[in-house]
Amino acid sequence: MIFTDPGYGAHFDYEGKKRDLELETAIYYVDDSLDEPIMLTDDIYKPNGIVLTPDGEGFYASDSAPPISTNPRELFAGRWRKRGAVSVIGRLL
């Protein structure tokens, strides 16, 4: 399973208490053979959603909170390099 963790809810009293992040803000891979998720990339500031390309060789991921708040939300494309590593190609929108 591939998932994003933007870290929302931990930075302020959103879900009961402010706390440190359990995972760094990143895109992760996990399966039942692993004890912990593998970070695929932390190149996207607040990754919040991911979809795989039909050929399974790439992905699109949203960045829902760019570093400069006046910037619009962004969409990135990426490709798999090898298990445990990805290459973020660049911003699409």
Are 93 and 74 contacting, i.e. CB atoms less than 8 angstroms apart? Answer: yes
The reported pLDDT for the residue numbered 26 is: 87
Tell me the per-residue pLDDT of 42-93, one tens digit each, with 9 for 90 and over.
888 888 899 988 988 888 998 887 666 676 778 888 887 665 556 666 666 5
Q: What is the DSSP letter of 22?
A: S
- pLDDT of 15 above 70: no
**Euclidean distance between CA atoms 3 and 29, whole angstroms:** 7
The domain ranges of the chain are: 2-91
CA atoms 84, 89, 92, 93: torsion sign = positive
Q: How far is Cα 60 from Cα 44, in angstroms, rounded to an integer?
A: 11
Amino acid (one-letter) located at 75: L
